[in-house]
Chain A
Amino acid sequence: MLYFVRRAGFFLATLWAAVTLNFLIPRLQPGDPAQAMLNRLQGETTAVNPAQLEAIRKLLGTPDGNLLSQYWDYLGAICTGHFGVSYSYFPYTVTAMISSALPWTLILVGVTQMLSFAIGTLLGAWAAYRRNSRVDSVITLGSTFVGTLPFFWLALLLIFVFAITLNWFPDGGGYGGGSSPSWTWLFVSDAFQHSVLPAVALLITGPIGWIIGMRNNMVQTLGEDYARLARAKGLPRRRIALTYGARIAILPNVTGFAIALGSLLGGTVLVETIFNYPGLGRLLLEAVSNKDYPLMQALFLFTTIGVLTANFLADVTYGFLDPRVRRAEAV
């Protein structure tokens, strides 16, 4: 029991620290949201009109007052779920912006993460089962090679070949200019078509970590005494690999997967930016470059909570799965 209390305490302390840093870091950077937005709008080669800057500052209600009172307001807002009005999408609220972007990220990245995990684990297991064969070298070397390619390069290559040259798929966006979000066959098929290239890009690079991890774990478990015993006993090779090797080797990957799902947002910035996908990652990038504090804080907060919760759950699950962990901490 003590183990779980400790974990929960640790979770809360980290959460508070993260929330506070989340408040402080954006405010320590130089720059003014009104100025940042105006620069972006006009380009840096246009002189800024001071009256206009003043009007925009008034409009946004750029925070003044001392840091401590801002901090109190911020904590209060988090507890009540009021994240305020976005600067870069004024007068729309942060909640409105996030809720319209969330489904896109959840579907694209959620699905590809799960597929990556499944594909990666299966391929890794297969490589370990046929270790030192041609299959193993193709999988291991192939994934190591693909892993060294920069993601943005792969993504741009996909756009160039399949969108620009062959014109099979659209070059970006979540859906076409002619349709608008609704639950109709037309829109869903359009959205599906737009998701193919980003999904493929994610699926090329996504499984690599899982492949390598799974293969190495499983090669190790298959070399354990109990696996050797099973082989001596005359159990079929396939059964040894699946029931004794893979089942144990997959454990660390499951923990990793929980954390990967929690940090979903961080991984989406690049893919959503390149494919101009209307999800959370692109929203985050824009919030940061526009100094949109309210939006930025809410997004960072969700990421932080996501990662911490996933970590906590992984810890708890581990405690259940592996009695040694619980005992070691309780001593």
Chain B
Amino acid sequence: MTRRARLKTLIAALACVSLLLAGCTGTEGQTTASSGDGMVDFLNYGDFGGGAAPKPNYNPYLETTKLSAADYIYEPLMYVEGYSCKALPWLATAYQWTDPQTLVYTVRDGVKWNDGKPFTAADVAFTFTMIKKYPALDLKGVWTYLSAVKADGNKVTMSFKKPAASVFTLVSDVRIVPEHVWSKVADPTTFTNATAPVGTGPMKVKSFNPRQLVVERNPDYWQADKIKVKELRFNKADAGGQVEQLKLSRGEYDTNAMFVQDIKKAYVDRDPKNHHYWYAPGGVISVYMNLTETPFNDAAFRKALTTAFNHQQVIDRAQLGYVTQASQSGLVVPGQKDWLPQGLADDGRIKYDPAAADKALTDAGYTKDSKGHRLGKDGKPISFSFKVPGSYVDWVAAADILIKNLTALGFNVTKDTPTPEAHDQERATGNYDMMFGVHGGGCNMYANFSDPLNSARTAPIGKKADSNEIRWQDPKTDELLSQLETSPDEGTQKQAVAGLVDIMMNQVPMIPIWYGAKWFQYDTKKAEGWPNEQDPYADGGNGLVVLTHLVPSSGS
């Protein structure tokens, strides 16, 4: 053999070996989707949590390290879906406030744990008692309100220390675990629940490795007739987002929840018939003003600024058109529209109108000098800084637009870009003039308003505030909040919300700009019934509810 011929043989041999190896990579390449039994064989989901080197962990209370299979194994009493906040009967069929301090759930008959044992009200009582004993498991803080939980027949009675209607969504959402398994666990805070986790949910763990987690249909599920998917396969996301985006665009995921630059071109256009996305509105991103400083302590000043910001430009340029304008009411519209008081123009969305802002500022006593500088009431030009985390590119772009709007009104605004950690710290301690803050967006109406506005949740400047980072202190607000916290009557709750919305609209403790997007992409090649703008029965993150709506695609 000549030298060249030898080289050729070597290359050929190497190629053969690598092809052979390519043949044995397990089940990854399998593509069959649906079989003849009216079921989807499997769906590919995105990441399953647990970090880059995940270890099996199906403890539903270890919020930051559990794997997402736990969400399909353990179920709550009522499932409060994240879009319009309806409480769907789940392990409980009904609930009733017998008095403002007593909540009674009726648990569902015929529910079985996936090891065959029946689910009872005693399991519910056990679960609540356990999270009382281990406060680290009480993720919703329900025991700050609860005094006792008792089971009797198919009823669970929850007694509260004081009227606490607002705690309903929190209590309803606690995942219920089986007494016959968890009562034998020595320390549930360090329990990984790694082998054959016992739950009531629609799925059971089939296999796990750090790259892929597979759950399979539980045939004895209490609403098994609604589960038309045999297997969910969760795939570990690569650390680099680009590769993940490429995989998404090639249709390797049936659903995912990631940020994609130019989603239309990168995803939808690749298969317009099947590739879809729906970004439901989430938390409210607002301009926070330090209310202990002039001129931000003047309500007229703050109200004048509500028309000063060009929301649409922020949405189109900084947020790629993925988000919608936030309502000044503090609520998430249109999902929570039912809570809005009657007659609020455009659901509380305020139009960008720099001329109106200029006039309102002037009328409030903030005039411009001959050089166009906006003057404070002390006659000096107003200057302040806008803090935004330097690494949040989209927030920086949004801040740039807002700063431009403020500069056009004659303010002298400087941009300050700390690290995200420093930014959060400075926001909590009140070391800022103006910055972005996130609040609300949840289904607990009390928390939505109380977290940012309750005077009990704030702290003096320099001390870390619990959640009232703008340092809003107002007796009227506190009174409305306590009404909202305690009243089980929906009419009274709505009245309180209307009062709070009025404060948001007229006293303007902060200025909502846009709603954070809940990333959600889905592919209708194999399955359909995903939630979307036309059928918003839940948001994309409510996996358990979504699973009960999925059916094999009619097209396939």
**Chain B residues, Cβ within 8 Å of A179:** 25-26, 209
Complex alpha-carbon distance, A56 and B140, angstroms? 11
Does the CB pair A59–B136 fall under 8 Å? yes
Residues A46 and B52 in contact in the complex (CB < 8 Å), given A59-B189, A189-B21: no
Instruction: Among B21, B242, B517, point to the contact of A156 (Cβ < 8 A).
Output: B242
Given the interface pairs A88-B65, A177-B27, A193-B22, the reply to whether A282 lies near B52 with Cβ below 8 Å is: yes
- In whole angstroms, what is the CA distance A176 to B62 when docked? 27
Closest partner residue, chain A, to B464 (CB atom): A32
A46 vs B466: C-alpha distance when bound (angstroms): 16
A28 to B398, CA, bound (A): 31
Within 8 Å CB of B140, what residues of A?
49, 51-52
> Are B424 and A41 touching (Cβ within 8 A)?
no
- As a 0/1 sequence over residues 167 to 186 of chain A, the CB contacts with chain B under 8 angstroms (1 = contact) are 01111111111111100001
Given the complex of chains A and B, what is the CA–CA distance between A278 and B49 in angstroms?
15
Q: Is A55 touching B136 in the complex (CB atoms < 8 A)?
A: yes
How far apart are the CA atoms of A286 and B467 in the complex, in Å?
A: 27
Q: How far is the CB of B491 from chain A (nearest CB, A)?
A: 27
Instruction: Tell me the complex Cα distance, A37–B64, Å.
Output: 6
Chain B residues within an 8 Å CB radius of A285 = 239
The answer for the CA separation of A71 and B24 in the assembled complex, in Å, is: 50
Judge if A110 is at the interface, Cβ distance under 8 Å. Answer: no
Does A223 make an interface contact (CB < 8 A)? Answer: no
Q: Are B240 and A90 in contact, CB atoms less than 8 angstroms apart?
A: no
Q: Which residue of chain A is the closest to B323 with respect to CB atoms?
A: A45
- Nearest Cβ in chain B — how far from A97, in angstroms? 7
Interfacial residues of chain A within 277-307, with CB under 8 A of chain B in the complex: 278, 282-283, 285-286, 290
B487 at the A interface (CB under 8 A): no
Query: Contacts A50-B451, A55-B136, A92-B55; is A276 near B425 (CB within 8 Å)?
Result: no
Bound state CA distance, A100 and B242, in angstroms? 27
Q: How far is the CB of A122 from chain B (nearest CB, A)?
A: 19
Complex interface: chain B residues within 8 A of A196 (CB): 18
Bound: A282/B239 CA distance, A: 9
A43 an interface residue at 8 Å Cβ cutoff? Answer: yes
State whether A51 touches B144 (Cβ < 8 A). Answer: yes
- In contact, A177 and B26 (Cβ under 8 angstroms): yes
B12 within 8 A of A: no
Q: By the criterion CB–CB under 8 Å, are B467 and A97 in contact? A: no
Say if the beta carbon of B546 comes within 8 Å of chain A.
Answer: no
Q: How far is the CB of A203 from chain B (nearest CB, A)?
A: 15
Q: Does B190 contact A (CB under 8 A)?
A: yes
Residues of B within 8 A of A286 (CB): 51-53
B-chain residues with CB within 8 Å of residue A85 when the two chains form the complex? 190
In the bound assembly, the distance between CA atoms of A186 and B28 in angstroms comes to: 14
Of residues 146 to 191 in A, which have CB atoms within 8 Å of B's CB atoms? 156, 159, 164, 168-181, 186, 189-190
Find the A residue at minimum CB distance from B189. A59
A16 within 8 A of B: no
Contact A50 B63 (CB under 8 A): no
Q: Which of B114-122, B150-158, B433-441 lies at the interface?
A: B433-441
Question: Could you tell me the distance between the alpha carbons of A180 and B207 in the complex, rounded to whole angstroms?
Answer: 10
In whole angstroms, what is the CA distance A171 to B207 when docked?
A: 22
A55–B139 touching, CB < 8 Å: yes
Query: Does A168 contact B63, Cβ atoms closer than 8 Å?
Result: no
Task: State whether A164 touches B246 (Cβ < 8 A).
Answer: yes
* A192 in the interface (beta carbon within 8 A): yes
Contact residues in B for A159 (Cβ distance below 8 Å): 243
Q: B29: nearest residue on chain A (CB-CB)?
A: A178
Within 8 A of A (CB), among B37-80: 49-55, 57, 62-65
**Smallest CB-CB separation from B191: which chain A residue?**
A91
Q: Is the CB of B25 within 8 A of A50?
A: no
Query: What's the least CB distance linking A278 to chain B, in Å?
Result: 5
Question: A151 to chain B: closest CB distance in Å?
Answer: 13
Cβ–Cβ contact A172 & B26, under 8 A: no
In contact, A173 and B442 (Cβ under 8 angstroms): no
Please report the C-alpha to C-alpha distance between residue A88 and residue B66 in the assembled complex, in whole angstroms: 10
**CA separation between A252 and B319, bound complex, in Å?**
54
Residues of A within 8 A of B440 (CB): 47
Contact in complex: B209, A45 (CB < 8 Å): no
CB pair A41 B64 closer than 8 Å: yes
Let me know if A58 is at the binding interface, CB within 8 A. Answer: yes
In the complex formed, the residue of B with least CB distance to A159 is B243
Instruction: Give the CA-CA distance A36 to B283 in the complex, in Å.
Output: 18
Smallest CB separation, B382 vs chain A (Å):
29
Quick one: which of A38-65 are within 8 Å of B by CB? Answer: 38-39, 41, 43-52, 54-56, 58-59
Beta-carbon nearest neighbor of A173 in chain B: B211
A253 interface residue per 8 A CB criterion: no
Contacting B62 at CB < 8 Å: which of A90, A100, A156? A90
Contacts of B27 in A (CB 8 A): 177-178
Contacts of B421 in A (CB 8 A): 29-31, 36
Does A320 belong to the interface (CB within 8 Å)? no
CA distance A4 to B51 in the complex (A): 45
**Does A255 make an interface contact (CB < 8 A)?**
no
- Contacts A52-B140, A55-B135, A88-B51; is A45 near B64 (CB within 8 Å)? no
Check B192 against A92 for contact (C-beta < 8 Å). Answer: yes
Within the complex, the shortest CB–CB distance from B532 to chain A, in Å, comes to 20
Closest chain B residue to A162, Cβ basis = B18
Bound: A28/B137 CA distance, A: 29
Shortest beta-carbon distance from A271 to chain B in Å: 11
Question: Among the listed A37, A172, A189, which residue makes an inter-chain contact with B243, where contact means beta carbons less than 8 Å apart?
Answer: A172
Known: A171-B243, A172-B243, A273-B240. A51 touches B138 (CB 8 A): yes
Q: List 24 A-B contacts (CB under 8 A).
A: A31-B424, A36-B421, A38-B64, A44-B395, A44-B420, A47-B283, A51-B138, A51-B140, A52-B140, A56-B139, A59-B137, A91-B57, A91-B65, A91-B189, A97-B55, A100-B53, A170-B25, A173-B238, A174-B211, A178-B26, A180-B209, A189-B21, A190-B25, A273-B240
5 nearest A-B pairs in the assembled complex, by CB-CB distance: A178-B26, A45-B516, A51-B141, A177-B212, A31-B421
Interface residue ranges, A against B (CB under 8 Å): 29-31, 34-39, 41, 43-52, 54-56, 58-59, 85, 88-92, 96-97, 100-101, 156, 159, 164, 168-181, 186, 189-190, 192-193, 196, 273-274, 276, 278, 282-283, 285-286, 290
Given contacts A45-B282, A285-B239, 8 further A-B contacts (CB under 8 A): A30-B419, A44-B395, A44-B516, A55-B135, A172-B243, A175-B209, A186-B26, A276-B52
